[in-house]
Amino acid sequence: MQRLRKALPEGALLSKPEELRPYECDGLTAYRQLPLAVAIPETVAQVQEILRICEEVRLPVIPRGAGTGLSAGALPRKDGLVLSMARFRNILAVDPLNRTARVESGVTNRAISEAAAPYGLFYAPDPSSGVACTIGGNIAENAGGLHCLKYGLTVHNVLSVKIVTAKGNLLTLGAQGFDSPGFDLLALFIGSEGLLGVVVEATVRLLPRPPSSRLILAAFPSVESAARAVRLLIGRGLMPAALEMMDNLAIRAAEDFVHAGYPVDAAALLLCELDGLPEEVEDQIALAEDSLRESGANFLRLSSSEEERLLLWKGRKSAFPAVGRIAPDYYCMDGTIPRRAIPAALRRIAELSNAYGLRVANVFHAGDGNLHPLILYDASRPEELERVEKLGGRILELCVELGGVITGEHGVGAEKLDPMCLQFRAPELRQFHRIKTAFDPHGILNPGKAVPTLHRCAELGAMHVHQGKVPFPEIERF
Amino acid sequence: MQRLRKALPEGALLSKPEELRPYECDGLTAYRQLPLAVAIPETVAQVQEILRICEEVRLPVIPRGAGTGLSAGALPRKDGLVLSMARFRNILAVDPLNRTARVESGVTNRAISEAAAPYGLFYAPDPSSGVACTIGGNIAENAGGLHCLKYGLTVHNVLSVKIVTAKGNLLTLGAQGFDSPGFDLLALFIGSEGLLGVVVEATVRLLPRPPSSRLILAAFPSVESAARAVRLLIGRGLMPAALEMMDNLAIRAAEDFVHAGYPVDAAALLLCELDGLPEEVEDQIALAEDSLRESGANFLRLSSSEEERLLLWKGRKSAFPAVGRIAPDYYCMDGTIPRRAIPAALRRIAELSNAYGLRVANVFHAGDGNLHPLILYDASRPEELERVEKLGGRILELCVELGGVITGEHGVGAEKLDPMCLQFRAPELRQFHRIKTAFDPHGILNPGKAVPTLHRCAELGAMHVHQGKVPFPEIERF
């Protein structure tokens, strides 16, 4: 600790309990732990020195961006140092010709798009926490967002990163262009949840802002008919910029909260955004409206102004806090299934909800099958949390059974170590461990997150349903 | 060898010199070596058994698709076994709703698009060797193609692979959806040039075929004005499906060969393809034609039929063999630079061409800065090949100096080990070696390819110009 204090400027190492309190959890507040200390370096050289010291004395290091993560990926350890990148806030360059921005890792997601806006460009991944979350954290978790159906996840939008390894070396991964020789360490690094190194700088792709964006709201008399619409829209060649679904519980909660004009009697609602050149968008709207009506939509509303579009989105974007108003607590799940399995998944979730006696609101990225069931409960009743966790586990198990995966965009963190044992078999887990060792031989970086030990999985035993029972059934025609 | 023969069906292990001859090189025919033997397994279990035996006796294994690679990535070793995936030719499923195809690794690139065509879908990466090259080889080299400017490289279009590791384990990397928990071993694997495992199966993304594709041919009085056009097109927000440049030497060679109607007096020619909905394409054409004229184009031709579009492409696609008709031999380079550096790069290549007394034809993917200088020479004069290799080395050095990289889509293979020492420093190379060891501890898979030893780079000495001297100069405005 003495050595760390010497390596850092005045005030950059926190160790008093009241100073540590803000760092005890991330966005998944059910997991809390005070760290041993918090370092807030200002320069790359300081980050390198911190890691050199910590690796020498084997002190665990927990990298942290804005702490908005939802899987306890930034959960501290009582024997570990939190390494906050909050002071890496500079936008170093915006290059409109190459359509790239080079930024320090503590720059917020939103700030990148703001810096690119004068050139008609934007940074595509848009997690709901965009105002606060940092690009470093986005890279660690491979963040998604409403628009990743069309524009991809973080991994599709980052060209290069500078990282500091556990040994304190500064590496550049990736390049300014599409391809780069050597192994693709950049893609390996993105989504590695702080286990392989600490991002200090990133070069991201910028995209031209589409000249026109229109939103269609469609209400359905049943969840099945909404799911059918998702299939028709995608099956007919449309590529919506976003395609979101909400069920009745979520619709009512959101409408009560923001008064977006949602039809509160609908069993399910789809929000379908189309963007591009104005003529292209009009063609797409016509095709989308036909498909929605054919699937059974009994109410359609098309945004006629930018204000209306933003208002309709506001309901969806406020859905989590809105659900927070109708129950004392909620637990947000994150799993992904093939689009075809959406009706089956929602039916089974409803059955499980009944069986466990817990209400579940469904708000999710239907276009890419990324489910976010919100389990409502009351944390003041201790037995309820236990039931919630069991139900959550069953929902993730269901995702794997349906050929999907146990995450969509929130990462594994400290939260989903057990479900990882459902998803992967020993040979794959062993390969993950070998990769970890290849970057961090003494395991000082974010230990105990993201990848479970083989021992832990062995103890969980025979729960395994690898990659779904029917990953590729007969070709389905429609 | 006895054990291998027992593990394989009759006729699946070749060892007579006349049987081995077809395997002595890949598409880079300047590198040749007969292997010890060639195995042509038919089942995944046979691939696993071959690798188990070879790893036990430490016999090098060189995986091979169709042998169309251009960097000697499939070059045999005299003490090694070539593992041909030629019999893995089944298309296992096409799923139009998920927009995916699941295929064995020996299926050709073209065959995937053909299988997807009845559903209006196609597989986007389109290397020129598409008729022959296999998806397994595409994955090993992270293949690109004319249309990767808009649709991405192989890594952007593959969702999941099944691989056999050096130890004979069968692993599934990736998932059917966008995200997957755990480290992104899929992206790490793609482009790993046979060093980390052998692909036996892949699930690839399919895209809806754009309803309209039009091609603009533009002729320019100077290379600089053509390069300016590339900047204007991209700077104004267009995203062409392909944007190709040819210089005068390449234009004349192509026109002599296929009579596509290319203007043979032009100093440079751009081929700009726009695709999408018909109205969208028309808007794009108008904007593109304005930009081309403004940049100094003195001749424009817009394809008015599918036949004309294909004819105009035919010149570009035949450019390599066409150049082969005007010189006894040519050596195709592959490097990538930032778009802004195109004029500087072409000027320097012309200077180098003069200095070395060797003609260079330039045919390349201008939109993504992927250069393919073709150095013309006569292999019957031994001293010429040596000069060609020196000039090639200088061109790659130039790419790195300009902030680019030493490959674009052809890989490193056996060819570019020295240039890798220009591109990377010791910490990055060490990290590559650690990754290799994490997959293949005894180094039996394609040894001596893709990643140079630190020793080799140390011997090359002070040539190093890491990541370009000016990777991010002042923001350039236009």
ipTM: 0.71
Report yes or no: A435 and B438 within 8 Å, Cβ to Cβ: yes
Number of residues assigned to chain A: 478
| Per-residue pLDDT tens over the stretch B176-227 | 766 678 899 999 999 999 999 999 999 999 999 998 999 999 999 999 999 9
Mean pLDDT within B84-112: 95
CATH class in words for A212-319: alpha beta
For residue A336, the chain B residues in CB contact (below 8 A) are 175, 177-179
* Residue whose pair of structure tokens reads 């030719």 in the numeric block: B89
Report yes or no: B332 and B374 within 8 Å, Cβ to Cβ: yes
For residue A148, the chain B residues in CB contact (below 8 A) are 178
| Per-residue pLDDT tens over the stretch A246-297 | 999 999 999 999 999 999 999 999 999 999 888 889 989 999 999 999 999 9
Nearest CA in chain B to A337: B177
Beta carbons of A142 and B369 less than 8 Å apart: no
| Per-residue pLDDT tens over the stretch A35-82 | 999 999 999 999 999 999 999 999 999 999 999 999 999 999 999 999
Angle at B370 between CA B368 and CA B372, to 5 degrees: 150
* Residue whose pair of structure tokens reads 């089944």 in the numeric block: B90
Give the Cα separation of A28 and A48 in Å (integer).
29
| Chain B: closest CA distance from residue A351 (Å) | 25
Least-confidence region, from A50-54, A369-373, A462-466, B121-125: A462-466
Phi, psi of B347 (to 5 degrees): -65, -45
Residue A30 has a pLDDT of 83
Match domain B99-208 to its CATH number in 3.30.70.360, 1.10.443.10, 3.30.465.10, 3.30.2010.10.
3.30.465.10
Beta carbons of B98 and A338 less than 8 Å apart: yes
Average pLDDT across chain B, whole number: 91
Percent of chain B with pLDDT over 90: 79
Residue B30 has pLDDT above 90, yes or no: no
Report yes or no: A9 and A42 within 8 Å, Cβ to Cβ: yes
Beta carbons of B432 and A185 less than 8 Å apart: yes
Report yes or no: A120 and A208 within 8 Å, Cβ to Cβ: yes
Beta carbons of A420 and B181 less than 8 Å apart: yes
Give the Cα separation of A35 and A54 in Å (integer).
14
Beta carbons of B437 and A439 less than 8 Å apart: no
Give the Cα separation of B47 and B140 in Å (integer).
17
Report how far apart, in Å, the C-alpha atoms of A288 and of each of A243, B124, B255, B456 are.
11, 24, 45, 59
| Chain B: closest CA distance from residue A11 (Å) | 32
| Chain A: closest CA distance from residue B259 (Å) | 33
SS3 state at A75: coil
- Give the best residue of A183, A446, A475 to mutate against chain B (max B CB count within 10 A): A183
Residue A15 has pLDDT above 90, yes or no: yes
Give the Cα separation of A7 and A13 in Å (integer).
10
Going by C-alpha positions, the residue among A35, A39, A34 that lies closest to residue A52 is A39
Residue B178 has a pLDDT of 64
Read off the pLDDT band of A469 (50, 70, 90).
very low
Beta carbons of B188 and A192 less than 8 Å apart: no
The residues, any chain, with a CB within 8 Å of residue A399's CB and separated by 6 or more, are: A335, A336, A337, A345, A371, A405, A406
Mean pLDDT within A336-344: 89
- Give the best residue of A70, A179, A196, A339 to mutate against chain B (max B CB count within 10 A): A179
Domain B327-460 in the same topology as domain B2-84:
no
Phi, psi of A329 (to 5 degrees): -145, 160
Residue B464 has pLDDT above 80, yes or no: no
| Burial tier of B379 (Cβ tally within 10 Å: 0-12, 13-18, 19+) | middle
Residue B235 has a pLDDT of 81
Report how far apart, in Å, the C-alpha atoms of B340 and of each of A95, A99, B246, B293, B362 are.
10, 11, 17, 19, 17
For residue B403, the chain A residues in CB contact (below 8 A) are 176
Match domain B327-460 to its CATH number in 3.30.70.3040, 3.30.70.2740, 3.30.720.110, 3.40.50.300.
3.30.70.2740
Residue A403 has pLDDT above 80, yes or no: yes
For residue A195, the chain B residues in CB contact (below 8 A) are 183
List chain B domain ranges: 2-84, 99-208, 212-322, 327-460
| Per-residue pLDDT tens over the stretch A420-437 | 998 998 999 999 999 999
The residue type found at B475 is I
Number of residues assigned to chain B: 478
Fold type of domain A1-209 = 3.30.465
Report yes or no: B77 and B454 within 8 Å, Cβ to Cβ: no
Residue B403 has pLDDT above 70, yes or no: yes
Going by C-alpha positions, the residue among B377, B380, B342 that lies closest to residue B362 is B342
Residue B177 has a pLDDT of 65
* Residue whose pair of structure tokens reads 């990282």 in the numeric block: A163
| Per-residue pLDDT tens over the stretch B226-237 | 999 998 898 888
Fold type of domain A323-460 = Alpha-Beta Plaits (3.30.70)
Nearest CA in chain A to B402: A176
| Chain A: closest CA distance from residue B446 (Å) | 14
SS3 state at A249: helix
Going by C-alpha positions, the residue among B230, B280, B220 that lies closest to residue B251 is B220
Q: Which of A188, A408, A475 is facing B93, going by the closest CB pair? A: A475
Beta strands in B268-383 (DSSP E): 268-276, 299-302, 329-332, 335-336, 360-365, 370-371, 373-377
- Give the best residue of A90, A91, A97, A193 to mutate against chain B (max B CB count within 10 A): A97
| Chain A: closest CA distance from residue B380 (Å) | 32
Write the CATH number of the domain with boundaries B2-84. 3.30.43.10
Written as six digits, the tokens of B452 are: 């140079």
Residue A470 has pLDDT above 70, yes or no: no
Give the Cα separation of A3 and A234 in Å (integer).
57
Written as six digits, the tokens of B405 are: 């990289």
Give the Cα separation of B203 and B180 in Å (integer).
14
Report yes or no: A126 and A147 within 8 Å, Cβ to Cβ: yes
Neighbours of B459 (CB within 10 A): 11
Q: Which of A144, A176, A179 is facing B179, going by the closest CB pair? A: A144
Q: Please tell me what DSSP assigns to residue B117.
A: G
Going by C-alpha positions, the residue among A416, A424, A431 that lies closest to residue A468 is A424
Beta carbons of B407 and A188 less than 8 Å apart: no
Written as six digits, the tokens of A267 are: 């069993």
Give the Cα separation of A334 and A146 in Å (integer).
14
CATH class in words for B212-322: alpha beta
Report yes or no: B70 and B332 within 8 Å, Cβ to Cβ: yes
Q: Which of A196, A431, A471 is facing B185, going by the closest CB pair? A: A431
Q: Which of A176, A338, A412 is facing B338, going by the closest CB pair? A: A176
